[in-house]
Structure 1
Amino acid sequence: MIFTRQDHERLAGILAEAGRREVMPRFRNLGEGEIREKRSATDLVTEADEAAERFIGAELARAFPGAVLIGEEAAAADPALIERLGDAELAFVIDPIDGTLNYASDLPLFAVMAAAVVKGEVVAAVIHDPVVADSAMALRGEGAWLAGDGISRDLRVAPAAAPREMTGMMSWQYFPEPLRSTLPGRTPAFANVCSLRCCGHEYRLAAAGNGHFLLYGRLNPWDHAPGSLIHAEAGGHVRMLDGQSYRPAQPTLGLLCAPDAQSWLEIRTILLGETA
C-alpha cells in the first residue's frame, strides 16, 4: 500500500483535533478518580488518554477502513494486538498522550503521536504538540518537517561532534541489569544527558538539531515508531543496539539515534563500555 501525502495530512489533522477536543480541555482540569496507576506510581493513565485514544481510533477507522489500530491503552488491555503489526497491510500505532506523567503533573510537556505502518515498516509519522499546536512530521523518502500556523520548515539533526561536546537524552531505568546500573556512570563522557519524560518531545528536539543522541530501553511501538522515522528522515542514524534496523514489530534490546553512523558507533561504545 502507498501512504500518500494526502493520507498523511489526514492523519495529522486527526491528531491535532484530538489535542483540541480531548487533551487540552482536560489539562490541569482532571477530577478525582481521573488519574489512575497502571503498573507503578510513575506509569499512569488519565481520562484524557482514554478519551483521546477513542477519538483518534474512531476517526482513523472512518478515514482508513480496515486498518489495524493499535493504541497504547488498547494494547495494555490486549497485548496480542501488537502481534498484528508485522503483517498488516496498514496499521496505525497511537499514543494518545505521550508523557502522561508530565500531563498529570500539570507540566505542559506532552505530545499526541501516531505512525502509519505498512507490512511492519513505518511509512509516516506525526508528533503533535497540543500546547503550541504544531506537529513534527515525516513521510518515508520525503524528509521531515515541522508544521504549524500555516508555516512549514524542514527538520535536520545536529551535525556530528566529539563526544565531550554532545548532548543526549535517555531513559536508562528501563534497561535490564547490568546496563541499568552502569549507564548513568558513563554519561559524564558527554556534555549533558537528561530525560524529559516524554519521548515525543525528545524526538522533536533531536530531529530539529537540539541534541545529538537518544537512547531507549523500553520499546513500545507507540513510543518509538513515530519518532524513529522523523529522526531518520531528518538525516539521523537510527539502529537497535545490535546494529539492526528498527522495526516496531521486532524490537531487540535498546534503540539508539545519532547524527550519523560513525557517531552512533562512538556513542554506543561509550555507553556500553565496549570497544568499537
Structure 2
Amino acid sequence: MIEDKETIDEFLARHATDVEEAVRKAAAAEIMPRFRRLAAHEVDQKSGPHDLVTDADRRAEQYLTEALGALLPGSVVVGEEAVHANPASYEAIQGDTPVWIVDPVDGTRQFVHGDPGFCTLVALAQGGVLRASWTYAPAQDRLATAVRGQGAFLDGARLHAGVPETGRDLRIATSHPDYTTDEQKQALLGLWTDGVAPRACGSAGLEYLAVARGELDATAFSWEAAWDHAAGLLLVEEAGGAHLTLAGEPFRVTGHNTLPFTAARDAATARRVVELLSA
C-alpha cells in the first residue's frame, strides 16, 4: 500500500514487482483459460465487426481495477471496457490523481481468432506524464516494463531501439483503414512511397514492443485512445525512441493530438515519418 506522502517514484521502487504480479495473475485467471476456448456467447461487438469485446476483456479489467486500486489507494483506473460503458470516466486522465491506464486484451481480434499476438497493457500516469508501464504477452509469457528515467526491459534484459539500418526500406506498422477518417487515409497514403515498407498493424502494444526491440522502425497510428498507446509510448521512449504527431509535437496521453502520429526507433526516423504523413 502507498504510504502518506509517498511519491510515485517511491511507490514504484516498492511496488513495481507487485504490479507485474497483478498483471500476470489477471492473465492467468481471466485471459488464458479462455484462449482458444471462447464460446459464441462470450464474444460481443461494440462499434462494429472489427471492434470486439470478450468475457476475458471484461473480467481481466475488473481483476486489474481491484488489484491496482488496492496497491495504490486514491488512484483511479481508466480501462477500455469501463470507458465504453461510461465515456465520462476517461476524463480522469486529465487530472492530477495517479491514474492506471488499462487495456486488458490489446489485440482482441487476434485473441478471438486464436492468434497469440495479443497482450495486456498497463500504464501509470500522473498529471498527463507517463511514469511506468507493463506490456505482457501471456500466450508467449513475455513481459516488457519501463519506468521513466530508468530504461525499458524485456524479461529483465535492457531494450535499445537503435537506428534503422541504412540501405533498406523503413518498416512501418500502420492503422487499419477501418479506423481512419478520409483525411487520415490521405495522410497515411504518404507511407506508400519508395524507401518505405508499410504494413497493417496488429496489437498496438506488441507493435510498440517491436519498435523498442529494433525489429520495427516505426508505427503510424490514426487514433489516440490512451489504453492502446500509453504503455508502448513509454516503452519506446525508454528504449531510446521518440514519438511525434502530425503537428511535430510529442504525443500527449491526455489527448487533443493532431493525427496521425508516429513512434519510432529514433528521433530522425520519427521526423521522417511525419514528413511522409504531411506530404
Taking structure 2 as the reference length, the TM-score comes to 0.91
Identity %: 29
How far apart are the structure 1 equivalents of 2:58 and 2:188? 34
Matches within 5 A, 1:156-167: 156-162=160-166, 164-167=168-171
Change (3 A) 1:271 1:239: closer
The aligned counterpart of 1:2 is 8
**Can you give the 5+ residue segments of structure 1 that lack an aligned partner in the other structure?**
none
Runs (4+) off by over 6 Å = none
Partner of 1:117 in structure 2? 125
Measured on the aligned residues, the alpha-carbon RMSD in Å equals: 1.7
Between the two proteins, the alignment pairs up a number of residues equal to 269
Deviates more, 1:59-68 or 1:161-170: 161-170
CA distance in 1, matches of 2:223, 2:102: 16
Q: 2:242 aligns with which of 216, 223, 237?
A: 237
- How far does residue 202 in structure 1 lie from its aligned partner after superposition? 0.4
**TM-score, normalised to structure 1's length?**
0.92
* Unaligned runs of at least 5 residues, structure 2: 1-6
2:202 corresponds to? 197
Alpha-carbon distance, 1:266 to partner? 1.6
8 Å CA contact retained: 1:163, 1:267 = no
**Residue 193 of structure 1: SS of its match in structure 2?**
strand
Q: 1:17 aligns with which of 12, 25, 30?
A: 25
Q: How does 1:134-149 map to 2 (within 5 A)?
A: 134-147=142-155
Note if contact 1:189-1:270 (Cα within 8 Å) is conserved in structure 2. Answer: no
Instruction: Please give the residue correspondences for 1:45-64 in structure 2 after superposition, counting only pairs within 5 Å.
Output: 45-64=53-72
Q: Is the 8 A contact 1:156 1:209 kept in 2?
A: yes
Q: How far apart are residue 162 of structure 1 and its match? A: 4.9
Q: Which position in structure 1 is the counterpart of 2:218?
A: 213
| CA deviation after TM superposition for structure 1 residue 255, in Å | 2.2
Q: Give the superposition deviation at 1:164.
A: 4.8
163 and 53 in structure 1: CA distance in 2 versus 1, 3 angstrom threshold: farther
1:20-169 to structure 2, matched below 5 A, reads 20-147=28-155, 152-162=156-166, 164-169=168-173
- The answer on whether the counterparts of 1:5 and 1:139 sit within 8 Å (CA) in structure 2 is no
Separation (CA, whole Å) in 2 of partners of 1:28 and 1:54: 21
Query: 1:199 is matched by which residue type in structure 2?
Result: A
